[in-house]
Amino acid sequence: MLTEAEVKLLEAGSPCYVLKGTLITALARELAASRQNEIIECATKEEFGSLRAPNRRIALGADHGGYLLKEHLKAFLQDTGYQVVDCGTDSAEPVDYPDLSLKVAITVKTGQALRGIMIDGVGTGSCIVANKVPGIRAAHCYDRLTARNSREHNDANVLTLGGQVLPLEHATLIVSTWLSTAFSGGRHQRRISKIEQTEQQFLKDAIVAIAGDCSCAL
């Protein structure tokens, strides 16, 4: 049975996989629809297992300023039992952080990873880019308190870090805290819903504006 409580554990916008024939409560369907969690029925247990695998996948990316920390965190995540989707970069050669941050955000948005971690020199630029993607709630964290708060209160699904300002050990503690902290729901879900409503409103406004421009051109 799929209940409302189980849907609440999912990242907003991520797929919800169930075995074919699973009983889905009305409240679960309603919540999944409001949070854009598409319910996908799997015909076999094998298919169910393979599709749920992304729940242990972390999209990891960095520009040249975060490359060394990325490689350190990649080993840490793999040793902890996570599957890493390496979004680049692959060296310390200069690259543009918007390209890498977008890759991480889209990997999370499309359900190919549970969450994402992006690292640039300070972490701010990558956070700005990731938050341009609908459904992404990126948080720039610099200690365990901000990491815990971003998950408990904001249900952040992308973490950005500063590779040039965080020692390796400190960054590892931040990541460990962020990944192990669950969204607390309750009053915070109401606030997340308002964030999502704001996002949808501006998307609708943009579509209307584009449609208007097209009609004028005609």
Q: Active-site positions?
A: 153
Both structure tokens of 120:
């640039």
H-type alpha helices, 63-186: 67-80, 97-109, 124-130, 144-152, 168-180
Q: Compute the distance between CA of residue 55 and CA of residue 16 in angstroms, rounded to an integer.
A: 10
Q: Is 166 exposed, middle or buried (0-12, 13-18, 19+ CB in 10 A)?
A: buried
C-alpha–C-alpha distance, residues 17 and 10, integer Å:
10
Dig out the tokens for 216 from the structure.
């004028």
| Alpha helical stretches, state H, the chain | 4-8, 26-34, 45-52, 67-80, 97-109, 124-130, 144-152, 168-180, 187-217
Identify the DSSP state of 143.
S
Task: Answer whether 118's CB lies under 8 Å from 171's CB.
Answer: no
List the Cα angle 131/136/137 in 5-degree steps: 75
C-alpha span between 190 and 213 (Å, rounded): 35
